[in-house]
């Protein structure tokens, strides 16, 4: 093996190590940011119930098919908290959707017309959008309200093909509401309706308030506090 080949191999190894080091540092920093965000919000007057302790988003089959790397690398993070529910899940009620090594909370949550949720998503990377110079990592926070459930597929056929929306229903396992996070991005406006699919049903919700900040703006305590205050104000409107 020539010296030139050895140097080339060394350079490749160095880039792999450097790249993975950056990824590790990024997710450690993001985890710390989200922990601090949750703790600050929980200490507010919103009376929040955090629905999952970990900030893992579900991976859709479509996303896995288009980008196999999604099986190994996270490109977004997030959490959902129920407003006005209070308290916290116990250790046996941890729900990480599609993580088979963690027990799923099968009790679910009861949805009513008054139910409101605070949803926060960090969009760290998008393979398609990153091909342009305009893509930037963002943190998006939204208030979700007016949730409803309607039948689909075979379940829809059983009711004669008539789409009926329910405003009172049980959503279980709890983590299925985390599929709403994938729909959140900085382009969404207040009043926009988002929807996602779960077995047998379509779930939809209205974005009754939204705020989006570039990730790079979370570089000072002042900017962090401004984002938190924006979320609290949205929930109190």
* 181-217 per-position pLDDT tens digit: 999 999 999 999 999 988 888 999 999 999 999 999 9
Q: Phi, psi at residue 192, to the nearest 5°?
A: -70, 140
Q: Domain range for residue 157? A: 3-236
**Count of structural domains within the chain:** 1
Task: Provide the pLDDT for residue 33.
Answer: 95
The total number of residues shown for the chain amounts to 237
Closest CA to 138 of 75, 47, 232: 75
Q: How many CA atoms lie within 13 A of 212 on its CB side?
A: 15
Cβ contact 43:85 at 8 Å: no
Q: Which helix (H) or strand (E) holds 229?
A: helix 221-236
Q: Hey, which bits of the chain come out as E strands?
A: 48-50, 76-83, 109-111, 117-123, 138-151, 169-171, 193-198, 201-214
The maximal CA–CA distance of the chain, rounded, in angstroms, is: 73
Q: Quick one: 237 exposed, middle or buried, by C-beta within 10 A (0-12, 13-18, 19+)?
A: exposed
- pLDDT by position in tens, the chain (length 237): 444 456 688 888 999 999 999 999 999 999 999 999 999 999 988 889 998 888 988 776 666 667 788 878 888 999 999 998 765 544 444 444 444 333 445 678 899 999 999 999 999 998 888 888 788 999 999 999 999 999 886 655 555 555 678 899 988 888 889 999 999 999 999 999 999 988 888 999 999 999 999 999 999 999 999 999 999 999 877
Predicted TM-score (pTM) of this structure? 0.83
């Amino acid at each position: 093996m020539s010296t030139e080949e050895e140097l080339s191999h060394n350079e490749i190894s160095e880039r792999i190590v450097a790249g993975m080091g950056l990824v590790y540092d990024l997710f450690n920093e993001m985890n710390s940011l989200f922990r601090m965000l949750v703790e600050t919000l929980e200490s507010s007057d919103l009376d929040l119930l955090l629905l999952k302790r970990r900030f893992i988003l579900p991976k859709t089959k479509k996303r896995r098919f288009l980008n196999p790397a999604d099986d190994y690398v996270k490109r977004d993070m997030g959490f959902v908290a129920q407003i006005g529910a209070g308290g916290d899940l116990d250790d046996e009620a941890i729900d990480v959707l599609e993580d088979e090594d963690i027990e799923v909370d099968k009790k679910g949550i009861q949805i009513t017309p008054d139910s409101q949720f605070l949803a926060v998503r960090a969009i760290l990377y998008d393979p398609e959008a990153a091909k342009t110079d305009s893509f930037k990592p963002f943190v998006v926070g939204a208030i979700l309200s007016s949730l409803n459930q309607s039948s689909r597929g075979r379940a829809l056929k059983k009711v004669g093909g008539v789409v009926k929306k329910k405003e009172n229903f049980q959503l279980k396992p709890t983590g299925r509401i985390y599929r709403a996070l994938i729909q959140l991005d900085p382009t969404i406006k207040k009043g926009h309706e988002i929807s996602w699919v779960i077995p047998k049903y379509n779930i939809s919700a209205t974005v009754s308030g939204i705020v989006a900040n570039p990730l790079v703006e979370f570089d000072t305590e002042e900017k962090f506090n401004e984002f938190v205050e924006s979320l609290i104000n949205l929930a109190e409107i």
